[in-house]
Amino acid sequence: MADTTLHSWEYLETLPGTQFYRLYRSPASALAIFRKRLTSLAKSFVMMLLYMPAPLPVKQLELLVKDSSRGEREYAIDLLHRYHIFKDVTYSGVKAYALTPDFARSLRRALTGAGDTRSFGKVATHVPGDQKGTITQLDEYAQQRWEGILGYMVGSSSILLETPSTERQAAMQPSLGVIELLKAGHLIELSGTYSRGQSAKITKEGFAFVLQDINTQIWALLFLYVDNAEVFEMDKVDVLSFLFFISSLELGLAYSTTPLDDTQQRCLSDLVAFGIVYQPMRDDGTPVDYFYPTRLATTLTSDSSTALSTTNTTIGTSLSTSSSSSPTSANTGATKGFIVVETNYRLYAYTSSPLQIALLSLFVNLRSRHPNLVTGKMSKSSVQRAIRAGITADQIISYLTSHAHPQMRRHAQAEQSRNSDHARVVPILPATILDQIHLWQLERDRMTTTPGFLLKDFPNHADYEAPCRYADEIGVLVWKNDKKRMFFVNRIEGVRAFMAERRANAQA
């Protein structure tokens, strides 16, 4: 699993164990954590233990993994502990692992479809035929809402956007709740007074946010929501398990709201504002008693990259072509890239979407604008301006790469096949551009800091070597110096346990 620095998921790991046990009481949550957060090896371990009547001795589990893959094994076990799925027990005199009972029960239920109807929703049966939402409609709805939120964040900050699309921006203005949430998460800052109208200004974190892929963005926003749940007198765990519940529903089906409790009803109305669920309105303005999950919801906990990329393309479509309101351009080459970058730092973007143009203007000096094309040039000052605003070189590069024009991809492919050395991957962007963006960043940002713990004063090399290697295996090692016998980790729990155990073994 590629760890796309989801701060949000790390937030989840900070919850105390008891909260996890409550969360795991719902089958949907157990399944969601299982699908989304575990590595393949960790999943295999869980599946192996799921129907075992007795705990599995540590020694036996170790036998299942080749010695050459020790790192993966340690990482998987650490992960399972962090999510309170594994617990250490002593079974007939030896150390053994067992699944925590709540998790095991819920996952078994999820797999066999047992339990009450509340676990995976109740399909609404009484939807009038002529009001059935189609998947296309749902996609469109989700897309409008989501684009509205991003557009609000970026559009409001940009210098470029006075003219063409003021009306459309206003039409997609996100709800007050969403704006509050963005503000609470420091993604935007509001200035001005209520009476004279407020204007939003995007922050560093906001910049980083808008350049992420959609799934990451949604989760970031949802975790913000969870974090602020207590302000609205809702329970964190209830909200989380409701989110996991929503994510396990099926796209294109209507679900009844009757089995939902008060907290869940409230959540639901907030999720409507994000475009994660769709709830049609009656004529008198009250919501009907059924709702549809949109594609944003159903791929929330998906672990398959294809499903995720479908979200990115279907929802992201209008973000990359001109707009959702002109049907011709939405169909033609909808999901294709549109940016051409030349080796002389010139950039041509075939788009007229205000959101895309605003994004580009973050790190490109835009020079001219045509009906479906903007041109500009990247320079040291424009890139460093972006870096000062908190955008990293890698974010710029990944943005440019993922939106590269098909012509650039073809070019890179041709280059690749001409190349005798097949192991070397030819990047889509020109190599000079890649290097230069990194160099510009280095020039500005030569210092990195990582919070964590420094371990030092090891009496001999063996005592240093073992925990250091262990830290590396579970992926928490940041820096080490063999000569000084010091190393630095960003999480200490696992290493501390390892060292205590080692000491105990040495004394025995």
Distance from C-alpha of 211 to C-alpha of 391, rounded to nearest angstrom: 9
Interaction between residue 377 and other proteins (CB under 8 A) = yes
Candidates 236, 380, 411, 438; binder of other proteins (CB under 8 A) is: 380
Smallest separation (angstroms) from other proteins to the CB of 333 = 29
- CB contact at 8 A, 293 and 246: yes
Collapsed DSSP state (helix, strand, coil) of residue 41: helix
Interaction between residue 461 and other proteins (CB under 8 A) = no
Interaction between residue 447 and other proteins (CB under 8 A) = yes
Sign of CA dihedral 314, 315, 321, 325: positive
Number of C-alpha atoms within 13 angstroms, CB side, residue 474? 24
Collapsed DSSP state (helix, strand, coil) of residue 91: strand
Candidates 52, 414, 431, 454; binder of other proteins (CB under 8 A) is: 454
Smallest separation (angstroms) from other proteins to the CB of 461 = 12
Interaction between residue 460 and other proteins (CB under 8 A) = no
Interaction between residue 432 and other proteins (CB under 8 A) = no
- Which position has the token pair 């164990």? 17
Nearby residues of 196 by Cβ (< 8 Å), 6 or more positions away: none
Alpha helices for 156-261 (secondary structure H): 166-171, 176-184, 204-210, 214-227, 236-247
Return the range that interacts with other proteins (CB under 8 A); candidates 50-58, 67-75, 224-232, 462-470. Answer: 462-470
Interaction between residue 478 and other proteins (CB under 8 A) = yes
Q: What is the DSSP string of 390-405?
A: T--HHHHHHHHHHTB-
Distance from C-alpha of 393 to C-alpha of 438, rounded to nearest angstrom: 6
Interaction between residue 459 and other proteins (CB under 8 A) = yes
Candidates 166, 173, 343, 481; binder of other proteins (CB under 8 A) is: 481
Size of interface with other proteins, in residues (CB under 8 A) = 34
Measured in Å, how far apart are the chain's first and last C-alpha atoms? Answer: 39
Interaction between residue 365 and other proteins (CB under 8 A) = yes
Find the angle CA(185)-CA(186)-CA(190) to the nearest 5 degrees.
Answer: 120
Interaction between residue 371 and other proteins (CB under 8 A) = no
Per residue, the 3-state secondary structure of 282-339, as one string, reads CCCCCECCEEEECHHHHCCCCCCHHHHHHHHHHHHHHHHCCCCCCHHHHHCCCCCCCE
Smallest separation (angstroms) from other proteins to the CB of 502 = 10
Candidates 248, 312, 353, 382; binder of other proteins (CB under 8 A) is: 382
Nearer to other proteins, 134 or 344 (CB): 344
Interaction between residue 160 and other proteins (CB under 8 A) = no
Smallest separation (angstroms) from other proteins to the CB of 478 = 6
- CB contact at 8 A, 15 and 22: no
Return the range that interacts with other proteins (CB under 8 A); candidates 127-135, 140-148, 224-232, 448-456. Answer: 448-456
Residue type, 177: G
Smallest separation (angstroms) from other proteins to the CB of 113 = 47
Interaction between residue 450 and other proteins (CB under 8 A) = yes
Return the range that interacts with other proteins (CB under 8 A); candidates 37-45, 124-132, 180-188, 481-489. Answer: 481-489
Collapsed DSSP state (helix, strand, coil) of residue 472: helix
Smallest separation (angstroms) from other proteins to the CB of 492 = 6
Residues 385-424 that bind other proteins (CB under 8 A): none
Nearby residues of 150 by Cβ (< 8 Å), 6 or more positions away: 210, 217, 319, 355
Instruction: State phi, psi for 11 to the nearest 5 degrees.
Output: -55, -45
Interaction between residue 59 and other proteins (CB under 8 A) = no
Smallest separation (angstroms) from other proteins to the CB of 365 = 6
Dig out the tokens for 9 from the structure. Answer: 């998921």
- 273: number of Cβ within 10 Å: 18
Interaction between residue 455 and other proteins (CB under 8 A) = yes
Interaction between residue 448 and other proteins (CB under 8 A) = yes
Interaction between residue 26 and other proteins (CB under 8 A) = no
Interaction between residue 456 and other proteins (CB under 8 A) = yes
Interaction between residue 369 and other proteins (CB under 8 A) = no
Residues 318-357 that bind other proteins (CB under 8 A): 344
Nearer to other proteins, 24 or 363 (CB): 363
Binding site for other proteins (CB under 8 A): 344, 365, 367, 377, 379-382, 446-459, 463-464, 467, 478-479, 481, 484, 486, 488, 492, 496, 499
